[in-house]
Amino acid sequence: MLLLGVLAGASPALCEDVTLEGLRDSYEEASNALRLRGRDISAKRVGTISRAVSHASLKARERRLACLRVSNEADGKRLAVAMDGGRVLIRTNKRGRKTAKGYHTYVADWREPKLFIIYELDAEGRKMRKGLERCDGTIGGPEDITRLLVAELRAMGAQDAKSITFLGDGAKWIWNRIDQIIEEVGIDRARVSTCLDYYHAVEHLASVAEAKTFASLIEKRACSTT
C-alpha cells in the first residue's frame, strides 16, 4: 500500500487535501473546510493523516539526502541564498484525565522553524520567475538547517555558480555559519557576497537615528538647565 502512496488508509489525493487544509489554525477548522468540499472527515482523522504524511515526508527527505547526486544546474548562474526563522505554536497535551468534553488540557509553546530558499538571479540582480529554485525547512536548530542547505547546494553544483549572494536579517545564527557553508560546499570566496535585507537594514538605521535624536534632545535639555 505504501508503494501506491496510501498513508493511514488515505489515498494520495486525500492526503494532499487533508495536508493543505491541515495548515489552518486547528484540525477542527480543517475538518469543517473538508466537509464543505464533500469530504466528511473528523478532526481526529485529519490529525492522523497529517502526522502520517509528515513522518513519511521526513523519511523521504532523509533517503534523498543519503543519495543526492551532484548536477551542473548552477553552472554559470547567479544565485541568492536566504535563511530565516519563523514562529509557530507547538501544542503538547498534558498528561492525565481528559476534560468533561473529552479533550486533553495542553500547553502551547512558541518554536522557531528555520527555513532556507535558493533562487536564481538575472543580470540586474532580480529574482528570475522561471529560474532555478529550491527551498526547505526544519523545526530543528541552526545546525539542522545548515545541513539541509549544504546538501542542496552541493547537489546543484553551487561551487560552479557565477556568483552567490547570501541574504539575511542580521541574526548571528545565520551570519556565523556562512563561512562554514562556503567551506563545506567548496565555493570560491571571491564569488560570494553577503547582504542584509532591505527592511531589516532600514529598521536598524531607524533605531540608530532614534537613539541619536534622543541623545541630542537630552544634551539640549542639559545645556538649557545650566
Residue 210 inside a domain? The answer is: no
Task: Grade residue 72 by pLDDT with cuts at 50, 70 and 90.
Answer: very high
Please list the residues that pair with 116 across neighbouring strands.
83, 136
Same domain (yes/no): 86, 178:
yes
**100, pLDDT greater than 80:** no
- Answer whether residue 209 is part of any domain: no
Report pLDDT for 208: 75
Same domain, 47 and 129: no
Whether 220 maps to a domain, the answer reads: no
- Grid look-up 546543484 returns 156
- Asked which of 66, 88, 107 is the last residue of a domain, the reply is 66
Cα distance from N-terminal residue to C-terminal residue, the chain: 85
The answer on 84 and 27 residing in a single domain is: no
- Residue 223 belongs to some domain of the structure: no
* Same domain assignment for residues 137 and 164: yes
The number of folded domains in the chain is 2
Question: Quick one: 44 and 89 in the same domain?
Answer: no
Q: Which three cell numbers stand for residue 86?
A: 519563523
The answer on 193 and 140 residing in a single domain is yes
**Does residue 171 sit in helix, strand or coil?**
coil
Question: Do 70 and 157 meet the contact criterion of CB atoms below 8 Å apart?
Answer: yes
C-alpha cell at 152: 542542496
For position 190, what pLDDT does the model report?
95
In a domain, 116, yes or no: yes
- Between β-strands 133-138 and 114-121, what pairing exists: parallel, antiparallel or unpaired? antiparallel
Parallel, antiparallel or unpaired: strands 192-196 and 114-121:
unpaired
Residues 111 and 138 in one domain: yes
Kindly state the average pLDDT of the residues 171-180: 93
Mean confidence (pLDDT) of the chain = 87
Asked if the structure places residue 218 within a domain, the reply is no
List helix spans (H) across the chain.
Answer: 12-21, 27-36, 43-66, 142-155, 172-175, 178-185, 198-224
Render the burial of 32-70: b for 16+ CB within 10 Å, e for the rest: ebbeeeeeebebebbbbbbebbeeeeeeeeeeeeeeeee
CATH of the domain at 182: 3.30.420
What is each CA distance from 52 to 9, 10, 11, 60, 216, in whole angstroms?
Answer: 10, 10, 12, 12, 60
38: left (phi over 0), alpha (psi -120 to 50) or beta: left
Q: 43, 66, 89 — which closes off a domain?
A: 66
Closest by Cα among 211, 213, 140, 200 to 169: 200
Percent pLDDT > 90 in the chain is 59
In a shared domain, residues 42 and 96? no
Q: Can you tell me the mean pLDDT for 164-178?
A: 92
| 222: in domain | no
This prediction has a pTM of: 0.78
How does pLDDT run across 143-158, given as a tens digit for each residue? Answer: 999 999 999 999 999 9
Q: Are residues 107 and 185 in the same domain?
A: yes
**Same domain flag for 96 and 170:** yes
**Do 97 and 193 reside in the same domain of the chain?**
yes
Range of the domain at 152: 78-197
Q: Residue 170 to residues 56, 123, 145, 183, 199: CA-CA distances in angstroms?
A: 34, 25, 17, 21, 11
Same domain, 48 and 115: no
pLDDT band for position 13 (cuts 50, 70, 90)? very high
Q: Is residue 207 part of a domain?
A: no
